[in-house]
Structure 1
Amino acid sequence: MSTTARQGRPPGAAPGLDPEALLARHRRALARRRPWEATWKECYDLALPGRATDATPTLYDGTAADAAEQLAASLLAELTPPWTRWFGFTPGRGTANGKADPAGKEAAMLEHAAEALHGELARSNFTVEMHQCFLDLVVAGTACLAVEEAAPGEPSALRFAAVPLAEVALEEGPEHRLDTVFRTSSLTLAEILGRFGGVALPRGLAEAPGDEPRRHRVVEAVIPSTRGYDYAAILAADGEAPVVLAEGRFATSPFIAFRWMKAPGETYGRSPVMKALPDIRTANKVVELVLKNASIAVTGIWQADDDGVLNPANIRLVPGAIIPKAVGSSGLTPLAAPGRFDVSQLVLDDLRARIRHALLADRLGPVQGARMTATEVLERSAEMVRILGATFGRLQAELLQPLLARCLAVLRRRGIVPPVALDGQAAVLVMRSPIAQAQARADAQGVLMWLEVVRALGPDAAHTADAAAASRWLARLLGVPADLVISADEAAALAADPLAP
């Protein structure tokens, strides 16, 4: 049985999904995806070249490819930076039993869970696969990440895989989330048996020794249900009845699909490369024409008298060449070009600037020139939040929250973290990524300004501000570890008995 099915199937739980119905639903999902495929192919050809696709056009301008890679790297650094803990858990409106947490035990337990999860992510392949997903997101507008439980003995209990967009077909559920995922894989018999264990396969699939291994289509389906997510892996071999390789049930989906942005009524997302596609096409064509014009300028176009003596096949236009000519013949004469292409550089500079602006390379890229002041840094952060606020909000809802919930479910099953439910009651997810901290710093600036104004108004006004409560609020806002902040009860006990330990 696969790792995916093995980790999510409780003993005796089998959803009993109909393989024929699942394959028919998969075909309908593929038909709804087909109108997007031509646009995706063009986006990949121009912004992420190198894929083995048919009729791949020659790429002459690399502005889009460079800007797309920079945007993907910026998303990784702003949302899920590899070297810092970009998330945290805080107690919700009450603990699991509905009581308050005055001693901070719940906060300490959640801090321990966050540290354990961060350690598992750091030891896994999360950063590598997440960057690949961000490349798909920037180029095609939709990406999919598989989160599985690693085999015992691995450095991390988590294993991630960036699923290529060509392998998935997605459907929106009643809540307009991409929670129905079909993944198509091409596997050999050895890979099928190694992944799904000892399953009964049709005899027609047997291979003779020495033959080239054939690949067979395997469709994995994850469909939401009232009790979580139903999972089924189906072998859809040609000429054979579909065979269920594995089935099970998950509390959280192992496939996390997310989008850059979407229009009403659409399932798949739209990408910044799609927005800049007309300029990318034009810039590529302009550079192609510039290169052709340059080749003409270097080699020239020549004319010669056809006097029966000149043989053009024997002429080589190389430096130092001596070309014989008949007496009285003008020989080779260069032909003047009818026009000049000097305006091409102006057009190309404008196109490249628009491409970099559409892919946010001029906003998220490295700062050129002199170092910025603190005010300029804050202004740039505020501008970035304003431009990408909608996109980051969608990524938090479709990527970060399901990702952490899925990881916690795997770690709870392994016994690495205590039971933590991000339901708003027992625990609340707090984002500590750089983009979230930019907004937190803006909120903190407002409170600090108010405290300064209250202090300047005199003693009567200063008594209206609770400095201790403001300090604890700022600590929560800026992600200060709970071990460094004393609770209100601890502060009261310390004030009553300063010598107490």
Structure 2
Amino acid sequence: MVHPQPTKPGAIGAPEADDEAVVDSLMRRCRRAWARRERWVGVWRECLAFTMPYRDSAVDAGLPGGRKGGGLFDGTAPDAVDQVAASLLAQLTPPWSRWFDLTAGPDLSPADQARLGPVLARAGAVLRGHFEAAAFAVEIHQAYLDLVTLGTACLLFEEAAPGEPSAFRFTAVPMADVALDEGPGGHLDTVFRRVRLSLPAFRARFPGAALPPDLETRAAREPDLELSVLECVVPDGRGYAYTALLLGAGDPVATVLDGPPVPAGMVPVLARGRFGVSPFICFRWGKAPGEVYGRSPVMKALPDIKTANKVVELVLKNASIAVTGIWQADDDGVLNPATVRLVPGAIIPKAVGSSGLTPLRAAGDFDVSQLVLDGLRQRIRHALLADRLGQPDSPGMTATEVVHRAAEMARVLGASYGRLQSELLAPLVRRGLVILHRRGEVPPIHLDGRLVDLRHASPLAQQQRMSDAHATLTWINAIQGLGPAGAAVLDGEGAARWLATTLGVPDEAVRRPGARTVPVSRPPPVTTRPPIPPRAAGGAGGAGAAPALSALARGVSSTMTGGVGHGRR
């Protein structure tokens, strides 16, 4: 495991006079953060038990493997969670696709934008290449599963060692290992991460750290000794202060929460530094006012999920009784109802000549379990957005149906997608640019929204822009019926450039303003029709470009009939 590189590598482990005060403050904040986190553990366990029981280690740090999910009978919720996580991966950060662009900001002049565009395009391509080489999709998919189930996810974005295929290294941090808190800006940028490291891993991560004498002696006797380390990342106004503390051997949470207060002078500081951008990227699905951790769609659908699971359990029990039956046998003794067990294959004794244990027959035998179960499953899929984020049932959708589906998806995911843009996508790009600039692969780029802007180009972002493009193309088609006067209003070059930007066309495919057009020699067309007079071909300016843009509108509408997600990424 490679230690995250701070903005000042020389500051790691540097002694300071206020070490004890800093450690004491961090330990107190860590205790409060872990105490707040404990209130959420119960609902997290319940969400995982009914959706992904095999991922219970995301909440409780335990032994991997083992038999899990024995109380899960209905697979609707687990399947819906997997589909939503896969849809988020495909719609927000699709692998091997261009899901973001670096563009010149609005404060620059057109000439400066033209000069800066190729530089930003190359930097974006280099950044995307490192994302793809680092197997980013594998770890972000695990984080999406936590996001859909628990409402909060954490991704560790480290710099890889020199010589690796990528400069980035990603790790999906389970919620069992972190306690979070909001910073002054309302983001989850205060992170306390517990980690248990073997002795070789500890030496590799903190090569210059010295163990206390008692641990050195114990490590010499126990080669498999695990050490508890607490990593703290706290915003301080100048960036993010990083501190790594050695808590000794054992469980760091028990040491921090349950154990006696440790004097600050007895907690060794393994590393200290400062990051310009936090290496821990924590993001939420949604949140309630006053809460720190996020709320997930599984939490909203949990009552229906539990009810459907119980209905399926009862149906299976009824089916087993119907197959094996419950039998009666003559008995000379006295029937004791307390000893009767209504299980498949049971034999209930009865007195000779008596009717034995007789059930009370209802007036009708109307089985509503399947009707109830169908409604529950439909509501579960609707609450988890599986019916709206998944692939459409009809592959041959018209352009209007595609636009309406994209608008519905944008409406449903509007708040959550906006939060993910702010808490996940933008920090990912900022952190990557900082690492690549330190390596000298890209120039210093600061995403301020004025000089340099981040343009989201994921399929979901493109679907949101499709409504604007569809409205513009409809207007272009409409003005064709107004004659030359209506066509003269259209600025053909400006409309074409706006459509290129909106539809995500690469800059290389668009001619720059002022560039000369290279004439292309073409053979004369074979036709017997007389040439069209210049007046009929349209006036100057945008009038002559209107028919071409009308054809472009028909072409874009025809490509939109292929279904959501088939446009350019």
TM-score, structure 1 as length reference = 0.88
Superposed displacement of residue 11, structure 1: 3.2
5+ unaligned residues in a row in structure 2: which ranges? 63-67, 249-254, 256-261, 334-343, 521-569
Percent identity (aligned): 53
Closer/same/farther in 2, CA of residues 103 and 347 from structure 1, 3 Å limit: closer
Residue in 2 that maps onto 1:303 = 328
Question: Matches of 1:366 and 1:336 in 2, distance apart?
Answer: 48
Deviations 1:337-360 (A, max 9, x none): 856682211111111111111001
Q: Is the 8 A contact 1:420 1:426 kept in 2?
A: no
Select between 354-363 and 479-488 the one with higher mean Cα deviation. Answer: 479-488
Q: Is the 8 A contact 1:7 1:149 kept in 2?
A: no
Select between 233-242 and 175-184 the one with higher mean Cα deviation. Answer: 233-242
Deviations 1:24-68 (A, max 9, x none): 111111111121110011101111112356997611111111101
SS of the residue 2:270 aligns to: strand
Which structure has more relative contact order (CA 8 Å, sep 6+)? It is 1
Verify: 1:90 aligned to 2:100, yes or no.
no
Verify: 1:73 aligned to 2:125, yes or no.
no
Residue in 2 that maps onto 1:392 = 417
5+ unaligned residues in a row in structure 1: which ranges? 309-316, 324-328
Residue in 2 that maps onto 1:46 = 50
Question: Matches of 2:138 and 2:366 in 1, distance apart?
Answer: 44
Closer/same/farther in 2, CA of residues 335 and 213 from structure 1, 3 Å limit: farther
Question: Matches of 2:99 and 2:414 in 1, distance apart?
Answer: 17
Residue in 2 that maps onto 1:234 = 245
Question: Matches of 1:275 and 1:103 in 2, distance apart?
Answer: 46
Of 175, 183, 200, the residue aligned with 2:185 is 175
Superposed displacement of residue 370, structure 1: 5.7
Moved over 4 A (4+): 12-17, 52-57, 329-341
Q: Is the 8 A contact 1:15 1:230 kept in 2?
A: no
- Spell out the pairing of 1:255-294 with structure 2 (5 A cutoff): 255-294=280-319
Superposed displacement of residue 437, structure 1: 0.3
Residue in 1 that maps onto 2:376 = 351
Superposed displacement of residue 465, structure 1: 1.8
Of 30, 36, 42, the residue aligned with 1:32 is 36
Select between 282-291 and 259-268 the one with higher mean Cα deviation. Answer: 282-291
C-alpha RMSD over aligned residues? 2.9
Closer/same/farther in 2, CA of residues 85 and 176 from structure 1, 3 Å limit: same
Superposed displacement of residue 300, structure 1: 1.4
Question: Matches of 2:155 and 2:415 in 1, distance apart?
Answer: 21
Superposed displacement of residue 101, structure 1: 2.8
Question: Matches of 2:71 and 2:366 in 1, distance apart?
Answer: 21
Question: Matches of 2:141 and 2:87 in 1, distance apart?
Answer: 10
Residue in 2 that maps onto 1:441 = 466
Question: Matches of 1:188 and 1:388 in 2, distance apart?
Answer: 42
Question: Matches of 1:370 and 1:110 in 2, distance apart?
Answer: 37
Deviations 1:72-111 (A, max 9, x none): 000000000003111001111345xxx6535822101111
Q: Is the 8 A contact 2:3 2:205 kept in 1?
A: no
Question: Matches of 1:8 and 1:343 in 2, distance apart?
Answer: 64
Question: Matches of 2:481 and 2:329 in 1, distance apart?
Answer: 91
Residue in 1 that maps onto 2:503 = 478
Whichever residue aligns with residue 9 of structure 1, its letter is K
TM-score, structure 2 as length reference = 0.78
Q: Is the 8 A contact 1:5 1:247 kept in 2?
A: no
Superposed displacement of residue 460, structure 1: 2.5
Whichever residue aligns with residue 182 of structure 2, its letter is E
SS of the residue 1:88 aligns to: strand
Count of aligned pairs: 477
Question: Matches of 1:334 and 1:75 in 2, distance apart?
Answer: 56
Superposed displacement of residue 249, structure 1: 0.7
Superposed displacement of residue 445, structure 1: 1.2
Residue in 1 that maps onto 2:534 = none
Q: Is the 8 A contact 1:94 1:100 kept in 2?
A: no
Deviations 1:182-203 (A, max 9, x none): 1111122322111111311112
Q: Is the 8 A contact 1:22 1:221 kept in 2?
A: yes
- Spell out the pairing of 1:397-412 with structure 2 (5 A cutoff): 397-412=422-437
Superposed displacement of residue 154, structure 1: 0.6
Q: Is the 8 A contact 1:143 1:257 kept in 2?
A: yes
Residue in 2 that maps onto 1:3 = 2
Residue in 2 that maps onto 1:111 = 121
Select between 19-28 and 249-258 the one with higher mean Cα deviation. Answer: 19-28
Residue in 1 that maps onto 2:132 = 122
Superposed displacement of residue 226, structure 1: 2.1
Question: Matches of 1:82 and 1:280 in 2, distance apart?
Answer: 31
Q: Is the 8 A contact 2:283 2:420 kept in 1?
A: yes
Closer/same/farther in 2, CA of residues 472 and 199 from structure 1, 3 Å limit: same
Superposed displacement of residue 389, structure 1: 0.8
Deviations 1:365-396 (A, max 9, x none): 23335632332222211111111111101100
SS of the residue 1:219 aligns to: strand
Select between 248-257 and 336-345 the one with higher mean Cα deviation. Answer: 336-345
Deviations 1:465-492 (A, max 9, x none): 21101111111111111111122222xx
Of 172, 180, 188, the residue aligned with 2:198 is 188
Q: Is the 8 A contact 2:6 2:274 kept in 1?
A: no
